[in-house]
Amino acid sequence: AQSVTQLGSHVSVSEGALVLLRCNYSSSVPPYLFWYVQYPNQGLQLLLKYTSAATLVKGINGFEAEFKKSETSFHLTKPSAHMSDAAEYFCAVSESTGNQFYFGTGTSLTVIP
């Protein structure tokens, strides 16, 4: 069975500070991993994905994530937070193409001016 754990349901950072959102997964097979962002009153937007190529994945808006198999982690980072980064972030895992996603419970990011 697959599952995703996002540590910290709420994270606050100062504008310009490092953003680190944590995601750990469990999967019986090499997974596909995703980060989605949800802005208020909008749908889920894909930030980045890992699909067994490079372990360091770069996404939109300056975000990146590193797949660490030994730690079963896929943490999301951004060197310098911007006010516009305030949103809900979801980590998801999938076993293969055409399979359902398993989502974490989400992390709400607040950026303090």
| Nearer Cβ to another protein (80/105) | 105
User: Segment 53-82, which members bind another protein (CB under 8 A)?
Assistant: none
Give the C-alpha separation, 24 to 65, whole Å: 12
Give the nearest distance from C-beta 14 to another protein in angstroms. 25
Name the token pair of 10: 């709420």
Q: Among 17, 62, 77, 103, indicate the residue that binds another protein (CB under 8 A).
A: 103
The label of the residue with tokens 């540590």 reads: 7
Q: Is 106 in the site for another protein (CB under 8 A)?
A: yes
| Residues near another protein (CB under 8 A), total | 26
Does residue 9 touch another protein according to CB under 8 A?
A: yes
- How many other C-beta atoms are found inside a 10 Å radius of the C-beta of residue 58? 10
| Sign of the alpha-carbon dihedral angle for 26, 107, 63, 34 | positive
